Every structure is written in C-alpha cells, then in structure tokens.
C-alpha cells in the first residue's frame, strides 16, 4: 500500500500507459511501454497504471513485465467489475513488489441504464468484486466511473460499500470532463463528511480535459482532501486527454505558497519523458502547451527579451532547468529588440561596435519580416556581410 502519512503528501498515479494509450492512435509497442514505465519509475511516480490486462495478450504481457521490472512504483492494472477481469489483472500485477488491482463500474444513471442493473444490484456487484480483489491483493483501488454525474446519495452508498468490501483507495473520476473546480472540491468534501470510513482510505481525483479544466479540477480536489492525482504525461488520454502530470506537479511546486502539498516527483526528468511519450505515441506536443511546449520558455518580443536578459524572473515563473530543459530562451524574430540581438551575437562569439550593430540590426529586421524565425546561421551571414562597418 502507498502512504500519505507524511503531512500533505500527494501521490502521483500515472496512467499514460492505460488511459493515455486509450487515445485513438496512441498505441505503443511492447518495448516502448517498458521504456516509459522505467522512466516513470525513475522519476518517482508513486503508482503506474500499466494497462488493462484482460484487454489483450499484449496488454497482459506488458503489465506483467512492467510489474517484474518496477523498482520504486506500485504497479497497477485495470479490471472491470468482473471476477474474470480481476483474476487476469492479478495474474499480471502479482509480479510486482508492490501490486495494485484497480476495479471500476459506471455508477451514474446513464451507466446504470447500459448495464441494466438496479441500484441495489450494482451495490451487490461492487461488494462481491471489491472483496474478491481484496482477497487477492492488499492494495485495491475502486472507481465509480462517471462519479461527477452520479447522484450524491447513491455515490455515498457505493463508496461506502467499496470501503467496507476492502478498497484502500477510492478514485473519483470525472470521466467526461464535466465538472468545474468548485464542484470538484465540494464533491470530495461531501464524501469525506458523509461516508463512514472515508478517513481511513485515500481519495484520488481522475479528471478528463473536455472543457480544459482537468488540472484546475484535480488541484481543487486536492485542496478539499484528495491525496492522489491521476494524470498522464503531456495530458495524453481519451478525447481531450487527462490531467497533465507536468502541470499538476509544477503547479504544486511553483505555487507551494498557496498549495502546500508535496509530491515525490523528480521534476528534472519531466522534459525527457514528455519528448519520449510524444515520440512513441506519435502525438506532438502543442507549441504553447503549459510547462513542456516548445514555446513555454521562449521569448520573442523585444520588451520580454529585454526583461529576461536583465532578470529572467520578469517573464518566467519557473526555471527551465527544474523540468530538465537547458535550451536557450530567446527566439529571434521580428518583435525582437537590439538588446536581444546583441546578447545573441555575443553568445555566437561576436562583439560588435555600435555602428556595425546598427547595420546588422537594420538588416536583421528586414530578414525577420520575411522569415518566421531567424536562425544562428542567418546571423553569422549578416555579421559576415557587414564586416568593416565598424
Ligand atoms: O475516466 C474514467 O472514468 C476512467 C476509469 C476507468 C477510472 O478512466
Ligand atoms: Zn479516464
């Protein structure tokens, strides 16, 4: 089992290899999954959801091998509310030093309709399946899928049933990205207040990003008492994705003054993982993506460049090296000013006199009007052709 006894420790549950891989087109090869799992383990992720063992033989094999290779992380597999699914999941995760079974059922009226179960029949199913899982494994997570659209009274009943049947973590999924921060917090608070035994288990938050609120909703849930955040690298996941690991982890680090919670993540590994997940999933990271986008630490306008050259904190709230990024933060383009050009030229080994700088600057602006970005080679050519202007 995992531990949040350390005051204000928030567990990071990464589901890149399960919910992330469910993104249409994001399928990863067996070797790629093992590599990503090893990187997540090294980064300090508390729980890795490695796959859905009953879904295919490939998934079963991947979860089994990830379980066998894990060093630090709990290895979790997903299972529907069926003893067959749960048995298959256990067969895969049991190789881990710290195994977890995660079982779920859709509890909202829409899902109850699909499964054609009455409220009481569903309660009975939860009781049987969670206790079956608990007989196999000491660490059991249970999720009421579509929790944020489940009636509160019924949600309290199903959560209480799962706790009594032996669940050690209760995950509250916002399956369709429907909730908003205040509601996300109120839901966790309500469960903590109303459900007997709620203070004995860990509440997790699992948010999807359909309305772009996954990160805000996850953080709001933490402030209300959730102590596990479910997330993926680059926010990969079904439809608009899941909460992005890099966003919640860096938000808790940068704004620890107002959100005093700790994670065990080595943030300097973030950039490498982001690039590898993008490469193996084939999902590019949008340029302006928070934290890991290509432009997240780049400054093009003259005012911003002048500011960061004088004091980087004027336009940067986190240090690029804290996420493992060591590239330069100045992009030369048509909005750039003379100070940025001078700094860039100095970096390239050119100390120009005022006249030559003026000449190069005029021609640089003309070039930048025609090109989206001016590269180092362009600058070297400009300096060479202006040599002697003094
Ligand atoms: O979004 C969701 O509800 C899920 C569950 C399986 C936890 O991914
Ligand atoms: Zn999900």
Ligand 1 centroid from CA 166, angstroms: 20
pLDDT for 390 = 44
Contacts of 381 (CB under 8 A, 6+ apart): none
Ligand 2 centroid from CA 174, angstroms: 8
pLDDT for 12 = 99
pLDDT for 1 = 45
The pLDDT confidence band at residue 4, using thresholds 50, 70 and 90, is low
pLDDT for 341 = 93
The two structure tokens encoding residue 215: 């990160």
- C-alpha radius of gyration, the chain, whole number: 25
Whether the per-residue pLDDT at 346 is higher than 90: the answer is no
Atom number in ligand 1 closest to CA 15: 8
The pLDDT confidence band at residue 2, using thresholds 50, 70 and 90, is low
Ligand 1, CB cutoff 6 Å, lining residues:
19, 104, 143, 145, 171, 173, 175, 206, 208
Q: What is the pLDDT of residues 20-47, one digit of tens each?
A: 999 989 999 999 999 999 999 999 999 9
CA atoms 221, 41, 77, 74: torsion sign: negative
Q: What is the pLDDT of residues 247-265, one digit of tens each?
A: 999 999 999 999 999 999 9
Q: In Å, how far from its chain's centre is CA 32?
A: 18
pLDDT for 347 = 80
Ligand 1 centroid from CA 173, angstroms: 6
72 is in an annotated binding site: no
List CB-based neighbours of ion ligand 2 within 5 Å: 19
**pLDDT mean over 195-214:** 98
Whether the per-residue pLDDT at 199 is higher than 50: the answer is yes
- Listed in sequence order, the DSSP H helices in the chain are 30-43, 57-69, 83-93, 109-115, 119-136, 152-164, 181-194, 214-224, 245-254, 270-281, 302-310, 338-347, 354-370, 376-385
**pLDDT mean over 302-323:** 92
């Amino acid at each position: 089992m995992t531990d949040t006894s350390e005051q204000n420790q928030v567990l990071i549950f990464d589901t890149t290899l399960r919910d992330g891989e469910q993104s249409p087109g994001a399928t990863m090869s067996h070797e790629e999954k093992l590599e990503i799992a090893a990187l997540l383990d090294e980064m300090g992720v508390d729980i890795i959801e490695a796959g859905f063992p009953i879904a295919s033989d490939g998934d079963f094999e991947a979860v089994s091998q990830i379980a066998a290779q894990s060093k630090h992380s709990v290895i979790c597999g997903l299972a529907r509310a069926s003893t067959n699914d749960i048995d298959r999941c256990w067969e895969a995760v049991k190789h881990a030093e710290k195994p977890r079974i995660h079982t779920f059922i859709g509890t909202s009226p829409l899902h109850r309709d699909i499964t054609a179960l009455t409220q009481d029949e569903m309660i009975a199913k939860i009781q049987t399946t969670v206790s079956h899982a608990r007989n196999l494994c000491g660490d059991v997570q249970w999720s009421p899928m579509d929790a944020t659209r489940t009636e509160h009274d019924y949600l309290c009943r199903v959560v209480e049933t799962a706790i009594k049947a032996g669940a050690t973590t209760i995950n509250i999924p916002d399956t369709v990205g429907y909730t908003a921060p205040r509601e996300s917090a109120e839901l966790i608070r309500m469960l903590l207040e109303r459900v007997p035994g709620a203070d004995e288990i860990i509440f997790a938050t699992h948010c999807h990003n359909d309305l772009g609120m996954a990160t805000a909703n996850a953080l709001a849930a933490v402030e209300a008492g959730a102590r596990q955040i479910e997330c993926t690298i680059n926010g990969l996941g079904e439809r608009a994705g899941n909460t992005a690991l890099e966003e919640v982890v860096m938000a808790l680090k940068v704004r620890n003054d107002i959100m005093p919670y700790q994670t065990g993540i080595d943030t300097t590994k973030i950039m490498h993982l982001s690039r590898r997940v993008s490469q193996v999933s084939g999902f590019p990271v949008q340029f302006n993506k928070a934290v890991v986008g290509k432009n997240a630490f780049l400054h093009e306008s003259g005012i911003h460049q002048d500011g960061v050259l004088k004091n980087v904190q004027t336009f940067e709230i986190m240090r690029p090296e804290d996420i493992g990024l060591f590239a330069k933060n100045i992009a030369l383009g048509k909005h750039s000013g003379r100070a940025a050009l001078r700094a860039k030229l100095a970096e390239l080994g050119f100390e120009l006199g005022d006249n030559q700088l003026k000449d190069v600057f005029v021609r640089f602006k003309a070039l930048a009007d025609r090109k989206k970005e001016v590269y180092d080679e362009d600058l070297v050519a400009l300096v060479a052709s202006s040599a002697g202007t003094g």
